[in-house]
Structure 1
Amino acid sequence: MPFSFEDYVLDQERRELTLRGQVVAVGPQVFDLLLLFVNNPDRVVSKDELLKTVWGDRIVSESTITSHINAVRKAIGDTGEEQRLVRTVARKGYRFVGRINGDSTGQARQPENDEYPTAAPKPPPSPALVLPEKPSITVLPFQNLSGDPEQEYFADGVVEDIIAALSRLRWLFVIARNSSFTYKGQTVDAQGVGQALGVRYVLEGSVRKSGNKLRITGQLIDATSGTHLWAERFEGLLDDIFELQDQITESVVGAIAPQLERAEIERAKRKPTESLDAYDYYLRAMAKLHSGGREAIEQALPMFYQAIELDGEFASAYGMAAWCHFWRKLNGWMGDRPAEIAEGIRLARLAVALGRDDAVALTRGGHALAHLAGEVDGGIALLDRARLLNPNLAPAWFLGGILRALRGETDAAIEHLNHAVRLSPLDPEMFRMQVGMALAHFFAGHFDAAAAWADKALGNLPSLLVAAALVAASHALGGRMDKANLAMQRLLALDPSLRLCALKDWLPIQRPEDFARFVEGLRLAGLPE
């Protein structure tokens, strides 16, 4: 008997899959996989069962299984990202979650040509939407509290821009504008909206006009619990309404993206380790990476590798793993330096190849390539592309600023770093922005400012080797030798093996005059040859 789901019919006897009467070409093993799934709806089918049923217990690689699962999804209009019909259950197997139409056995019967029902059957009730594996959000239409109908268009434009900007975040599932705007003019409950749209987070807000001023309020809610995660108010003048709209969009997205990531990290921490999937490993690793310490990086790197093992195309995880290797190199923590540099370059190249449209992968992978492979120009180009893909991604701005400082473009570097701080003023990686400012000011010859910024970075991360070096070199070139000598003691305590002769391989400083200034400052401060 045939199985029917959505607009598809799977005929076991004819070994045929059709979509609205048109045959869909599938290979024999892909057909057998799909048949196994629809015969076992809403039950997890293990990989062992797949191997026994489809491959007769023959030994096949993980990539073979994955490619056949992808072929099943492609045949039925599904994707690994959407998982509308075939859901991956991490380290367990796969589950068919589509509705099988038909009798109690789950098998469908198609009417014969002479059968004509006298009335259309009532459609089955809509199944409850399952939350996507990645974080999910809807942005509701903002309420117009100004009493001015003209502001209705402005409010709608702000929401549409926010939806478009959030949609650039590849790690985030965003409900489309048309679905969000069905709630326009309604008094809604965030938890009810979350259930109806199948999302974890709801962003709502309001617009109020007072004279020539416009006030926007926004709040982010965890729809599964009703908890308020974030609220903020934005004000501006109506002199240039389009510029104001852009500013508000940038401010809202720049504020809530880190909040969403932190909320997801905390949620992942509460999950038992045996139920983790690739994204949960990624989130837990990110929490470690943000702290920047040696032990934290040593814990983060295996988690990124576990995320990659579970999802071989997880571009951001490749980029973050590469970035961990760069961070180990920068701070003198590598054991087998040539091997780790080579591995970091391998991961970074995979990140940018797999993540051509993934701003996070391009940002971390491109920055790692600049430091590990010396490809500063190429790294800047990758980070520029990341900023085009997601103009609100703070790391793309501050890591791009650091690379520009290393290339000698100090004014542009400072501009990029300041913009990153504006986007994410409470960023857990603030010490990276501070050391970037120290580099830019040092190469610009502003030694007092360089020392001050480097001290701030050390205050947030005392083990940051490059910040300690900049403090020593800046004080020495500024004629403050007592402070320079104390800073050098701290630097050598962090890395006793650091020498002037090794500086060329430490930082990819592009201009000879900048490198000479750095070497001279550290020589004056007392770094051995």
Structure 2
Amino acid sequence: PAQSDEALVWQGRWHINRLTPEDFEKAQAIFEDIIARNPGHIEAHVYLALTTLWRVWTCRADPRDIKLARRQAQKAIKLDVSDGRGYWIAGCAECWLGNKTAAVHYTDEAIRLCPSLAFAHDQRGTNLAYDGNPLAALEALEHAIRLSPHHPQRFCFEGETALAALLAGDLSAALQHADHALLLRPAYWYAHMVKVLALHRMGRPDAVARAKRDLYEFEPRFNRSYINWLPFSDRSLNARMIEEMF
């Protein structure tokens, strides 16, 4: 018998959580099929936008896909203005596009509508960190972890916390959170990057060399563009990280 749309959404979510290019394609096909049959299916619209967002982050997709995720999130918002998830996804896309005011607006609205949405608090922390306020970022990120300590993507919360701690100058905390993120997802290039930077600033060259080997084992494509892509308001931070990494 044919699966219900609800069962298909769960199947698509399972593929998203695997975080591989092949699974993103399968998830996209599932959600697009649901939408073709039922254009008003809010869950399919939300998770289609989320699929695009995760593909951008994990696969270093074309920046045009960030705008696609934003459009998809905005469609979800139009279908249900009371669902905070669409606002969170749109806020994340705006952050990556460097539109800080829009990112804050969408993220704050997501939290207003759904105060328990851990990823929205994570995004608030990310917005603050990239805009030069790492101490406030740490508060938001710690709140995200408290809200959902067993979230399947907690490695993201830990990675963002590691970056905020690095920016705040707490190198031990940066290293601790980076290591925790890597325990949860060993292939997470972002946490590997923060670990290398923290060890470099600690003056531990041997540990830096080992951490770099681990980074390139899991992400052999890693290069300057990964760091240059990070949407810091102060672009000198990108330049410093590139200098320290390479």
Question: Which category of TM-score, normalised to the shorter sequence, fits these structures?
Answer: 0.7 to 0.9
| Larger RCO (CA under 8 A, 6+ residues apart) | 2
Does 1:282 pair with 2:9?
Answer: yes
Shift, 1:338, TM fit: 5.2
Cross-structure match for 1:13: none
Aligned with 1:510: secondary structure? coil
| 1:493 match: secondary structure | helix
| Aligned: 1:380 with 2:104 | yes
Once the two structures are TM-superposed, the CA of residue 327 in structure 1 deviates from its matched residue by 2.4
Q: Does 1:357 align with 2:92?
A: no
In the TM superposition, what is the alpha-carbon distance from 1:377 to its structure 2 partner?
2.7
Task: Return closer, same or farther for 1:519/1:425 CA change in 2, 3 Å cut-off.
Answer: same
Maintained 8 Å contact 2:141/2:160: yes
Residues 482 and 309 (structure 1), Cα distance of their counterparts in 2 relative to 1, 3 Å cut: farther
- Does structure 2 conserve the Cα–Cα contact (< 8 Å) formed by 1:442 and 1:450? yes
**How many angstroms does 1:419 deviate by?**
1.4
Corresponding residue of 2:141: 417
Aligned to 2:31: 304
Q: Which of 500, 506, 510 is 2:233 aligned to?
A: 510
> 1:326 Cα shift?
2.8
Q: Give the corresponding residue for 1:434.
A: 158
CA separation in 2, counterparts of 1:500 and 1:412? Answer: 28
Matched, 1:391 2:115: yes
Counterpart of 2:73 in 1: which secondary structure? helix
What residue number does 1:454 align with?
178
In the alignment, which residue of structure 1 is the partner of 2:53?
A: 326
TM-score, structure 2 normalization: 0.86
Following superposition, the deviation at residue 502 of structure 1 comes to 5.1
Partner Cα distance (1:317, 1:405) in 2: 31
Gap regions ≥5 residues in structure 2:
none
Contact in 2 for aligned 1:474/1:521 (Cα 8 Å): no
CA–CA separation in structure 2 for the residues paired with 1:333 and 1:295: 14
Deviations 1:300-329 (A, max 9, x none): 332232333233234453343233323223
Cα distance, 1:456–1:400 mapped onto 2, change above 3 Å: same
Structure 1 gaps of 5+ residues are 1-271, 524-529
Q: CA deviation at 1:297?
A: 3.4
- How far does residue 339 in structure 1 lie from its aligned partner after superposition? 5.2
Aligned residue in 2 for 1:520: 243
Distance, in Å, in 2 between the alignment partners of 1:389 and 1:420 is 15
RMSD: 2.4
Q: Which has the higher helix share?
A: 2
Higher-strand-fraction structure:
1
- Give the CA deviation at 1:333: 5.1
Task: Give the Cα–Cα distance (whole angstroms) in 2 for the partners of residues 466 and 288 of structure 1.
Answer: 21
Counterparts of 1:199-278 in structure 2 under 5 Å?
A: 274-277=2-5
> Percentage identity across aligned positions?
28
Deviations 1:239-269 (A, max 9, x none): xxxxxxxxxxxxxxxxxxxxxxxxxxxxxxx
In structure 2, distance between residues paired with 1:317 and 1:369: 21
Give the secondary structure class of the aligned counterpart of 1:362.
helix
Separation in 1 of the partners of 2:226 and 2:161?
23
Q: Kindly provide the CA deviation profile for residues 410-459 of structure 1, in whole angstroms up to 9, marking residues without a partner as x.
A: 12211112112222222222111111111111111222211221111111
Report how many residues are paired.
246
Flag the 1:396–1:307 CA change in 2: closer, same or farther, 3 A: farther
Q: Is the 8 A contact 1:401 1:414 kept in 2?
A: yes
Conserved in 2, the CA contact under 8 Å of 1:395 and 1:420?
A: yes
Q: Distance in 1 between matches of 2:100 and 2:212?
A: 28
In 2, distance between residues paired with 1:299 and 1:403? 30
Given that residues 448 and 475 in structure 1 are in contact (C-alpha distance below 8 angstroms), is that contact kept between their aligned partners in structure 2? no
- Deviation of the 1:383 alpha carbon: 1.4
- The alignment's TM-score, normalised by the length of structure 1, stands at 0.43
Q: Structure 2 residue aligned with 1:369, among 94, 100, 103?
A: 94
